[in-house]
Amino acid sequence: MAEAHALGALDAEESAAFEAHLKAGCPGCEKALAEARWLVSQLAYLAPESVPSRAVKERLMRSVGAESHVVPMASPRKSAKPLWLWAGVAALLLLTLYSTWNTRQLSEQVKRLQEQATAENQKRETLEQELAASRQEAQMRAILSNPESTKIMLMPSNKDMPSLEAKWHSQLGLVVTGYEVPKLSGNRVLQLWLIPKDSKAKPMPSITFWPERDGKLAKLVSNPQEGIPEVKALAITEEPAGGSEQPTSAPIWIGAVS
């Protein structure tokens, strides 16, 4: 036990027993303890100037404590990652992958729904435009074919221009038609004016329009501002895009309301 006592590796009970044995007088054990202490001191000089690791201390204890039956202290093993932690990591990874896939699927589904909604809106707008055009065409035909409609010839100020024709029904509205109407230059439009019978009143602006590519003209005024009794003539001028509050040019066509 001398080597273990020199290293301080004995527990309290063993150390007390060894010291009592020395006090009783045992030259052999005293000599063995002195040699062990000398060996320990020499080992201290040979060791590097640093704190020895636990593994070195355990090897030294095993070498000097073999005869004293000193059981070396086992170094604590690093605990491995618990199984539940790896299971949690795997579950989190699977959840992340599923969330990413699910988000992509939802994005694609939303995109398809948006495309379908856009297509449906376009179809609806097309149908609404076709329906409006059909209603307008039916109203124009009703005005043109109604015997109660007032016929108004719009004569051109230039003899090379074609004449236009208007029909005005007191309840259905006003229609202006013509053929071989020349194209307009730049951002110019044709504008219809209602000329009041009151000489002090100003011309009343109405719709703006332009002929088709083939020169055909057919325009409807659903609700003229004034009725036939208050208007003495119709006039058409060429105006800037968007129309004007008052005519900015001489009438190209004009016709009296009889």
**Rounded Cα distance, 27 and 34, in Å:** 11
Q: What pLDDT is attached to residue 253?
A: 96
Over pLDDT 90: what percentage of the chain? 47
Q: What pLDDT is attached to residue 76?
A: 53
E-strand ranges in 47-172 read 150-156, 164-169
Alpha carbon separation from 4 to 7, 60, 63, 70 (Å, rounded)? 5, 10, 10, 7
Taking each helix axis as running N to C, give the angle between helix 27-46 and helix 54-64, from 0 to 180 degrees, rounded to the nearest 10.
Answer: 150
For the stretch 149-187, pLDDT in tens is 999 999 999 988 999 999 999 899 999 999 999 988 888
Over pLDDT 70: what percentage of the chain? 88
Average predicted confidence (pLDDT) for the chain = 84
Reported as type and span, the H/E element at residue 178 is strand 173-178
Q: Which of 151, 144, 174, 176 is nearest to 162 (CA)?
A: 176
Reported as type and span, the H/E element at residue 123 is helix 83-145
- Flag the least confident range among 92-96, 117-121, 142-146: 92-96
CB 133 within 8 A of CB 222: no
Q: What pLDDT is attached to residue 70?
A: 46
**Rounded Cα distance, 67 and 89, in Å:** 50
For the stretch 217-237, pLDDT in tens is 999 998 787 788 899 999 999
In this predicted structure, the answer to whether residue 49 has a pLDDT above a threshold of 90 is no
Rg for the chain, CA atoms, rounded: 56
Q: Which of 257, 66, 81 is nearest to 168 (CA)?
A: 257
Structure tokens at 128: 């609404």
Strands 173-178 and 150-156: unpaired
Q: What pLDDT is attached to residue 148?
A: 93
In this predicted structure, the answer to whether residue 63 has a pLDDT above a threshold of 90 is no
Alpha carbon separation from 167 to 66, 136, 174, 208 (Å, rounded)? 129, 15, 6, 17
What are the structural domain ranges in the chain?
Answer: 2-64, 87-145, 150-256
Rounded to an integer, the average pLDDT of 199-216 is 92
Banded model confidence at residue 104, pLDDT cuts 50, 70, 90: confident
